[in-house]
Amino acid sequence: MLLITVVFLPVVERLSSVFLIFLFLVTYIRRIEIARQMCDHRDMATDETGEEMSATSNGKPSEHVQVSEDRQTVWVHASDGSTVGRYSSRFGMDVHTTAAEQLAGKPQCLNCTHVPPKEADWDEFCRLIRTHHGITIPPEVNPHWPMCLDQLQSILRAEDETCYPENVAFYPDLRALAEKVRSQKNWAQGQVFVFAESADRFVVMKQVAPSSCEMLTITQNGFHDVLTAYRFDQDELVRQLEGYLSHEPSTLPAPAN
């Protein structure tokens, strides 16, 4: 027994040393890989078109959220500096664990897609980032918005009105917009309803009185009127808004009696 111990003990010690070296190399390679991924993310602080990224959160710099100049890509960074989210209107979403979590053995990908996203995917992306990382993404960076917040605020500022992103809703066509604004008599003051075909053709309606349905109505042609929207039937309101889209305020035909 003593002979077996004397013979095999050095062998066991050597194998243990080899195993420890192997574990060290695996851990070291994994750390290098994660560091490389973090560098790649930092190098990609430009969007797919190579434009510089600008941080924003309600008009103020944000340490967590970055947006491309063309507003088509949003990046989210965790407190440890690792990039934990990307939302691209062309390539889909990526929601990742932090670098520290990956070093602890967690997988990198929490939810990753590789297809152009739909608007519902944006809501899911924001929910996942909030759930896993406690970061709330400002609503104004939504790449699906057809009009940027700065333009909308500028349009309303020209009429001495303010605009807060959490009060803004976009609608796909005039009928959907009309149906929404006339659906109740008492809207909260400050709600903004928008239909925008483009930055140069749009209808903006803002509730301008407390607990009522008085909609300041603006198009690319300028200010038109304050409409009590619920008093219109659906087709009547759509025709009114179509007229605003097609005419300067001073040349708009009088509504039929």
pLDDT tens sequence across 116-170: 998 889 999 999 999 999 999 987 788 887 787 888 999 999 999 999 888 888 8
Phi–psi pair at 140, nearest 5 degrees: -70, -10
Handedness of CA 225, 230, 232, 235 (dihedral sign): positive
Q: pTM for this structure?
A: 0.55
| Residues whose CB falls within 8 Å of the CB of residue 237, separated by 6 or more in sequence, listed in order | 178, 181, 182, 227, 229
Break the chain into its structural domains and give their ranges.
1-43, 53-141, 149-250
Q: State yes or no: pLDDT of 242 exceeds 70.
A: yes
Residue in 225, 222, 219, 223 with CA at minimum distance from that of residue 242: 219
pLDDT band at 26 (very low <50, low <70, confident <90, very high): low
